[in-house]
Amino acid sequence: MLGGLLAQFLGHIATNCTNFPIGYDKWQIVPAYYKDHVWDNIIKTKLEVNDDGHKDYILKSLAKKWRDHRCNLYKSLKCDPDAPRKTNIGRRPPEVPLEQWIAFVVICTKAKAAQNTTNRSHLTIPHMLGISTWSALSQESELFQVGHTTSDGSFVNDEARQNHEDLVVRS
């Protein structure tokens, strides 16, 4: 229960545009003063945190919740990459400041964002690698199996199972 409360608390912090503006491409380029302000003035005043491990975990959780919030704004709420920018700017949710919404719309309507959307639509076999690096995984068939199986060991779909069997036969 307490973990759920922490996640909910961090979710409220991460989705507040005053704490973390949405007009940045990636979490890594959100200026450190936003992160430091939240850590010093919100997290440390509400929670008992006393080491860098706590800070690292909480900032990673905030980063994920911030990314998810931006994704939700893009997908389900307002931003349409095919509509004119002026139309998207007019769809601003009331809780998002106008200057942040404009920056967010500019990011979402870049040519690279459209290309990434097209590339994702061509993906037929999802992978389950997470943030593992390719160099950490050695053999091709082993890599494929690790990357396309769920935690219970089953393949993500029949196409993935068949491709793995083909790799085993070839090797």
pLDDT tens for each residue of 108-135: 877 776 787 788 788 887 776 666 555 5
- Residue 145 counted as domain residue: yes
140 shares a domain with 105: no
144 shares a domain with 104: no
Q: What is the mean pLDDT of the chain?
A: 82
What string of DSSP letters covers 5-27? HHHHHHHHHHT-TTTS-S-SSSG
Q: What is the pLDDT of residue 22?
A: 92
pLDDT of residue 2 exceeding 70, the answer is: no
- Residue 122 counted as domain residue: no
In total, how many domains does the chain have?
2
In whole angstroms, give the CA distance from residue 12 to residue 93.
Answer: 16
pLDDT of residue 138 exceeding 60, the answer is: no
The domain in which residue 49 lies consists of: 2-110
56 shares a domain with 89: yes
94 shares a domain with 156: no
99 shares a domain with 64: yes
Q: What is the pLDDT of residue 52?
A: 81
CB 73 within 8 A of CB 23: no
38 shares a domain with 96: yes
Q: What is the pLDDT of residue 33?
A: 95
Q: What is the pLDDT of residue 29?
A: 93
Residues 6+ apart with CB under 8 A from 83: none
pLDDT of residue 66 exceeding 70, the answer is: yes
